[in-house]
Amino acid sequence: MMRLCRGLIVASLLSLWACAPEIDSDASFSNIPASGWAYGDTLVFEPQLGDTVDCEAVAIAVRHSAAYVYSNLWLEVTFPLTAGDSLPVVDTVNVVVADDYGRWLGRGSGVSYLKVDTIASQRIITRDKPIKVRHIMRVDTVKDIEQIGIIFYKNEATH
């Protein structure tokens, strides 16, 4: 019986993997402490890409628990200076994680959900120049956020 269950699990995972679209991307995630994400705590993501990559899109990923009490998460994302810029690019992003009826919009079930939103397109990302993310909610500490991630979708011409 146990062997049959393991076989079904492996077959299910393989079928899900086979159906997944091929995406040329790199991602970086930061874990948020169980005590919460304080307003002043800035997450720093250092792209592990080539020297310079022209990204088709940059997405933000928010993993939260089912106990998260808000329907969204306001973030400030700071992109570093690139050639020709005089100031860093700062984007304010509203990641909506629940609909008007309180149903989670991200993928997952039960205890944890992952919501991914595109936040920028056609960005030049330079290696070793960090992207910074902080929450700008109207509370000092946001609870029940588990991880924040940055995903870089590369243009086909860059690889």
| Contact (Cβ atoms closer than 8 angstroms) between residue 74 and residue 93 | yes
98 DSSP assignment: B
Query: Which residues sit opposite 73 in a β-bridge?
Result: 95
Predicted pLDDT at 49: 62
| Residue 17 structure tokens | 């993997």
Predicted pLDDT at 22: 41
Distance CA(117)–CA(68), nearest Å, equals: 18
Predicted pLDDT at 130: 85
Q: Which domains does the chain have, with CATH numbers?
A: 23-158 (2.60.120)
C-alpha atoms less than 13 angstroms from C-alpha of 85 in its C-beta half-sphere: 12
| Contact (Cβ atoms closer than 8 angstroms) between residue 113 and residue 64 | yes
Question: pLDDT 10s per residue in the chain (159 long)?
Answer: 545 444 444 444 444 433 333 445 688 899 999 999 999 999 999 876 665 566 678 899 999 999 999 999 999 999 876 666 667 788 899 999 999 999 999 999 779 999 999 887 777 776 667 889 999 999 999 999 999 999 888 765 544
